[in-house]
A and B are shown apart, each in its own frame.
Chain A
Amino acid sequence: MDTELATVKTKSNTFRFNKAKKKKCLSFLMFLTPAFLFYALFMLIPLIGAVYYSFTNWNAASQVTRFVGLSNYIEAFTNDPYFKESMLLTIKYTSIVVIVQNVLALLIALLIEYRNRTRNLFRTVFFMPNMVSLIISAFMWSFIFTIVLPQLSEYGLSLLDQGWLGNPDVAFYSIIIVAIWRGTGYMMIIYIAALQGVPVHLKEAAIIDGASSFQNFIHVTIPMIMHAITICVFLTLNEAFKVFDVVYGLTGGGPGRSTQVVALNIFEEAFSGNFRYGYANAKSMILFVIILIITIVQVYVMRGKEVES
């Protein structure tokens, strides 16, 4: 493979190569065009369109769309308290979910690692919630929060008697509970796979050295599964920042705007109230850039900590 590459490079000026190149081009196109076509139609063009419209006043009511320069962006940053609040709420939500979900998933993965006969059973059980669609999970939990938990509280568990969805201070955590309930199993599967990749001789060596199991975990296991941690944090970070379905199904962002996450804020800007598509597009661009920066930083920082194995 390498030698061929080398010859291609050295002979790149010859006629023979040009003919080969043409043929290669054709086959290249043949293989890439279908994917590219769909990608262009349903991803690329809408994206470019969204960027363009973010600079306009496009809305449902007026038939003329005007170019308004940066004013949408300026409004989002300076004159939209709801957007700012929803962004802060999303950041708070994301920090909690990313940490809890990964710690919990890793913990469960470690516990399962020690089981032999029941390992598969537990894996199956913990992943089960992932089979339920997000919006359906939200509906299921509405039932749990409004009917089941209040009744359960009568058995001396008065802690469970909360306004789970109705109390603005509690509703936020209810959403987190559902997100963690549904998302942890997925991360657990990835952690289990990573843990299985830790060579037994390394763990044994640590034990012979007399390392306690916690130190063993910190100094041997963690570095070995850093790759998986990077991925899981990346996935949860991404998911959490874009959270929509669960909130939509559980509280609709309410009561008031107390649980309005940023994706919901954008959605409502576009599809309710004044139907300001252009402005909503501008806000979604800001969300995009924020997610992009945060995930790039995260992957960059965490990659640096991974050990080559």
Chain B
Amino acid sequence: MKKLFMILSVMTTLVLIVACGNDADTSETTDEGANASDDVELKVFIDQPRFKTYYEDFLDGFTEYYEEENGITVRFQLEMPGPNEAAQILQTRLSSNDSPDVFTLHALNNIPVYDNAGYLEDLSDLPFVENLLDAPLNAVTRDEKVLAAPLETIYWGYLYNVDIFEAYDLEVPETISEMETVVETLNENDVTPFIRSFQERNIPQLFLPLVVGALAETEKPDFFERMDNNDASLKEFEGFFDMMDIQNQHGTDRPFEIDGAQGSNMFANEEAAMWVQGPWYAESILASNEALNFRVAPLPINDNPEATLINASVSTSLAVSKDSDHKDIAKDLVNYFLESEASNDLFQDLLFNPVSTNHDFEPFPWLDEAMEYVEAGRSYQDPPIPNAVKSESERVFQTYLAGSDSQDDVLEALDRTWEQSLALD
């Protein structure tokens, strides 16, 4: 009896060693497989479930196209988790050697980390690279290698209601003092200046890239480099909280019960004149009020008009896993996303901006002013803030806005998380 039990426990231990041993060496026989079998399954991970049907149709189109071109039937296992869970799910997959063949990532936030971890395949040789516009190309390039294909590019700062601004003869503010004047005028006329929608943590979080991006661009160009060497602190930025405070003091009621959807509804119904938010809410604003006349403008941070800049960001991009068993097909798919005729339609359906010379449609009206800023060089690339710091800022900004943390507490917490994220490798 005891012997048998021993055998069982030895077995268990063996399984344990095999299973939990830290085996980075799972060198699976990579079967490029194109010729071996003509039925291939690709795992695709896209963190935009709201566009599920569009992506499904697009992938069906690829299957058809690929079958005709290469005689290979590509089937898809499409994973589309909600935005709240997407990051953690992808992270789990990647770190447990269960990477999807093709997955979305945030170009500026994730590429450096994932590239260091060795998850990303070099895409520099693919035809789509030739046709990319400069700004998106820069965002997906690291060490002269193109590591992802940009899908969603965003030019943002805050949104303002053009009709309200015109009604009170207001100019788009170029400095924070001008912003205060705008706020004053609005208050005098009983118009609430700002929508406050802090229930969703990532909305107050937006201040982090806006403030850090603009200030680093104008005052401390070496900030990120020094931060990486543990030789800088967010406390260096004077007036970090100024704009946040103005918004918080002159906003709509009960901010912690208002999420993005409600916020966009309120903005659409002209309950306030401005909303610190990106144009990614355009779709839902227009759904509530088709006629709303709004524009994207750069957020003033201090009294230096040079620091009033548009944030130019490439968020969602497509990458190919280095561990993929079907790398070639995965690459063909990514290329298809930007080079095919279907690409033009997809980008328009999803309300994305053009990223490639293949895209021949006009950007959206609410972006025309923002584009002018960008063309005049008045923009900066979304700053490379580690994901961990961003998610920490979601928590601490909420706490600050609710009045429980001091400014120092907030900045110290962010500094600490930044330091921890460096200590990881």
Contact = CB atoms under 8 A, between A and B. Distances in A.
Direct contact, A vs B (beta carbon within 8 Å): yes
Interface of A: 21, 24-25, 28-29, 33, 36, 40-41, 44-45, 48-49, 52-53, 57-65, 146, 163-168, 252-258, 268, 271-277
B417 A255 contact: no
Nearest to A81: B413
Contact of A61 (B19, B113, B199): B113
Interface string B386-408: 01100110011011111011000
A71 to B, nearest CB: 12
A166 B116 CA distance: 39
Given A256-B398, A273-B388, 10 more contacts: A24-B1, A61-B421, A61-B425, A163-B257, A168-B399, A256-B399, A258-B399, A272-B388, A274-B388, A274-B420
B19 A59 contact: no
Among A21, A45, A58: residue with most chain B CB under 10 A: A45
B256 A44 contact: no
B249 interface: no
Interface residues of B, number: 46
Contacts of A272: 87-88, 388, 391
A41 B199 CA distance: 40
A39 to B, nearest CB: 10
A291 to B, nearest CB: 24
Given A25-B4, A45-B20, A274-B421, A62 B12 contact: no
12 contacts: A33-B8, A44-B12, A45-B20, A48-B16, A49-B16, A61-B116, A64-B22, A252-B84, A252-B201, A254-B256, A256-B396, A272-B88
B92 A271 contact: yes
A25 to B, nearest CB: 5
B255 interface: yes
Contact of A273 (B15, B254, B417): B417
B222 to A, nearest CB: 24
A258 B182 CA distance: 34
A276 B1 CA distance: 42
Interface string B289-325: 0000000000000000000000000000000000000
B396 A165 contact: no
B424 interface: yes
B240 interface: no
Nearest to A36: B8
Nearest to B424: A61
B424 A255 contact: no
Interface of B: 1, 4, 8, 12, 15-16, 19-20, 22, 24, 84, 87-88, 91-92, 94-95, 113, 116-118, 198-199, 201, 254-257, 387-388, 391-392, 395-396, 398-402, 404-405, 417, 420-421, 424-425
A73 B391 CA distance: 23
A255 B405 CA distance: 12
B252 to A, nearest CB: 12
A256 B117 contact: no
Contacts of A60: 91-92, 94-95, 117
Given A61-B113, A255-B256, A256-B398, A166 B199 contact: yes
Given A61-B117, A163-B254, A52 B20 contact: yes
Given A256-B399, A273-B417, A41 B117 contact: no
A275 B12 contact: no
Nearest to A277: B95
A45 B19 contact: yes
Among A53, A256, A271: residue with most chain B CB under 10 A: A256
Given A45-B20, A61-B424, A40 B15 contact: yes
A-B CB proximity, top 5 nearest: A166-B256, A256-B399, A271-B88, A166-B257, A273-B388
Nearest to A25: B1
Contacts of B257: 146, 163-166
Among A24, A60, A65, A255: residue with most chain B CB under 10 A: A255
A228 B15 CA distance: 41
Nearest to A58: B22
B398 A254 contact: yes
Contacts of B395: 253-254, 256-257
Among B95, B255, B405, B417: residue with most chain A CB under 10 A: B95
